[in-house]
């Protein structure tokens, strides 16, 4: 095969349209995909047509300028809309490269045209979103400006309204941020989990035949398998954060639920942690997804373990809480709640840390020790159930985190003890 035939096969294999334009601006060569993109059957149908004439009339001046630039030895780029093979409108990006003869003079021009319709549609959609956001920001800014002009006459009322608006906007931003990040994380975690399954099966197939491996090979493969297991746990946490599984709320007695996973939690804590679970009498019913409650409790216990530097007691207690109208807020609706609290005697948190505690990806742990997703996930789950999370913490003293679930009524739970009033934390 000659060199010319070899390169011709490469050009014909390209998914882009490839053309050679002679010194007069006429088409001298077109590959098969170039014909398909132009909507013609044979290359001969494009031969001796000018390249500029292939474009709609509104784009021909710019096409001519790009071709002239390439003839002067410059590499040019030209983008325009034109009809596709089915007469549908498509966007094309053409790159014009001068081809030189032995004397260094431009002999012809190589043009590679690529269909960029999908990219342009995505860009148009992003531009529309940006314009919409700017428009909304303008409206909000105008409203705030108008409110400022009335501030002197209505100062006290505006202070209250501004505070309420700030709280509502903060909750809304948190929900929108969690939803957007959740969708992104769900897609990544799903693909990541599929790849991990393939890696696990491959490693298992090799490790199942240890007689074929040297000692150092087996040890390295075991390390690899352990790494895959850790990655699989991370993928499950990401999927849980993204809330991609359907929740199935049911009547749950939270003390019995916690007792069922007490051994598993203790094993996860390590030998330096003493897990103390309240075993006093009482039943605490709520409607929620039991698996999600287990996950939330596990997250709080792991955070407590890390705050204690994996040494010391961690206490899990149960109770009831009553939120009256005078202490209710945007995130704490009035009503009766059952609670699970996790307390540690660890490093505690400052007020600044507590304010950001439930932000996705915010973490005070060292790099590689935490993802910042656990508490964001707990916050989202509690909001979904109509509950909330309370945090009481002081630096150097310790932390108590309380999950408050709406209490199930006696009609659903049967005979229940009367609630014990507990003042709502500030």
pLDDT digit string, tens, across residues 26-85: 888 888 877 877 777 777 777 778 888 888 888 889 999 999 999 999 889 888 887 655
What is the token pair recorded at 286?
């709520």
pLDDT digit string, tens, across residues 102-127: 888 888 999 888 888 777 776 766 66
Q: Give the strand pairing for 312-323 and 273-277.
A: parallel
Q: Other C-beta atoms within 10 Å of 134: how many?
A: 10
Measured distance CA(60)–CA(64) in Å, rounded:
6
What pLDDT shows up at residue 411?
36
Spatial neighbors of 248 by CB under 8 A, at least 6 apart, are 289
Q: How confident is the model at residue 89 (pLDDT cuts 50, 70, 90)?
A: confident
Position 145 pLDDT exceeds 60: no
Q: How confident is the model at residue 170 (pLDDT cuts 50, 70, 90)?
A: low
Q: Other C-beta atoms within 10 Å of 53: how many?
A: 12
What pLDDT shows up at residue 341?
94
Based on its alpha-carbon atoms, the radius of gyration of the chain, rounded to whole angstroms, reads 33
What pLDDT shows up at residue 210?
78
Measured distance CA(44)–CA(28) in Å, rounded:
9
DSSP string, 63-112: HHHHHHHHHTT--EEEEEEEE-TTS-EEEEEEEEEEEE-TTS-EEEEEEE
Average pLDDT of the segment spanning 233-238: 60
Measured distance CA(51)–CA(24) in Å, rounded:
10
What is the token pair recorded at 368?
């590689």
What pLDDT shows up at residue 294?
85
Average pLDDT of the segment spanning 322-326: 87
**Percent of the chain whose pLDDT exceeds 90:** 11
> Angle at Cα 268 formed by Cα 262 and Cα 269, nearest 5°?
90
Average pLDDT of the segment spanning 233-259: 69
What pLDDT shows up at residue 415?
37
What pLDDT shows up at residue 416?
37
Strands (E), 209-284: 250-253, 273-277
Position 16 pLDDT exceeds 60: yes
Position 276 pLDDT exceeds 80: yes
User: Backbone phi, then psi, for 282, in 5-degree steps?
Assistant: 135, 150
Residue with tokens 């035949």: 209
Under DSSP, is residue 360 helix (H, G, I), strand (E, B) or coil? coil
Measured distance CA(14)–CA(35) in Å, rounded:
12
Return contacts of 119-126, CB within 8 angstroms, 24+ apart: 119/91, 120/91
Q: What is the mean pLDDT of the chain?
A: 75
pLDDT digit string, tens, across residues 57-72: 888 899 999 999 999 9
């Amino acid at each position: 095969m000659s060199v010319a035939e070899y390169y011709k096969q490469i050009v014909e294999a390209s998914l882009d349209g490839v053309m050679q334009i002679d010194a007069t601006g006429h088409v001298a060569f077109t590959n098969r995909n170039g014909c398909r993109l132009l909507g013609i059957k044979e290359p001969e149908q494009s031969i001796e047509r000018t390249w500029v004439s292939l474009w709609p009339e509104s784009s021909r001046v710019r096409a001519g300028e790009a071709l002239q630039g390439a003839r002067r030895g410059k590499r040019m780029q030209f983008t325009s809309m034109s009809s596709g093979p089915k007469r549908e409108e498509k966007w094309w990006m053409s790159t014009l490269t001068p081809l030189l003869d032995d004397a260094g003079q431009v002999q012809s021009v190589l043009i590679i045209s690529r269909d960029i319709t999908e990219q342009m549609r995505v860009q148009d959609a992003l531009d529309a979103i940006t314009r919409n956001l700017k428009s909304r920001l303008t409206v909000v800014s105008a409203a705030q400006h108008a409110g400022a002009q009335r501030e002197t006459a209505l100062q006290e009322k505006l202070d209250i309204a501004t505070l309420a608006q700030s709280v509502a906007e903060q909750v809304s931003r948190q929900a929108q941020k969690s939803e957007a990040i959740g969708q992104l994380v769900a897609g990544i975690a799903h693909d990541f989990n599929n790849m991990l399954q393939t890696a696990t099966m491959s490693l298992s197939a090799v490790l199942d035949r240890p007689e074929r491996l040297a000692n150092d090979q087996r040890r390295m493969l075991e390390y690899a398998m352990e790494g895959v297991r850790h990655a699989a746990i991370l993928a499950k946490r990401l999927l849980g954060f993204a809330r991609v599984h359907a929740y199935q709320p049911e009547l749950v007695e939270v003390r019995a639920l916690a007792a069922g996973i007490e051994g598993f939690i203790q094993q996860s804590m390590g030998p330096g942690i003493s897990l103390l679970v309240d075993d006093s009498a009482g039943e605490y019913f709520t409607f929620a997804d039991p698996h999600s409650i287990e996950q939330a409790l596990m997250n709080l216990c792991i955070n407590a373990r890390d705050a204690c530097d994996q040494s010391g007691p961690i206490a899990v207690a149960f109770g009831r809480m009553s939120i009256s109208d005078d202490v209710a807020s945007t995130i704490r609706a009035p009503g009766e709640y059952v609670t699970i609290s996790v307390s540690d005697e660890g490093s505690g948190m400052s007020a600044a840390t507590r304010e950001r505690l439930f932000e996705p990806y915010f973490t005070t742990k060292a790099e590689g020790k935490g993802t910042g997703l656990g508490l964001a996930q707990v916050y989202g789950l509690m909001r979904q159930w109509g509950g909330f999370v309370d945090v009481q913490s002081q630096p150097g003293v310790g932390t108590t985190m309380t999950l408050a679930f709406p209490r199930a009524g006696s009609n659903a739970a049967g005979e229940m003890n009367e609630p014990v009033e507990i003042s709502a934390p500030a």
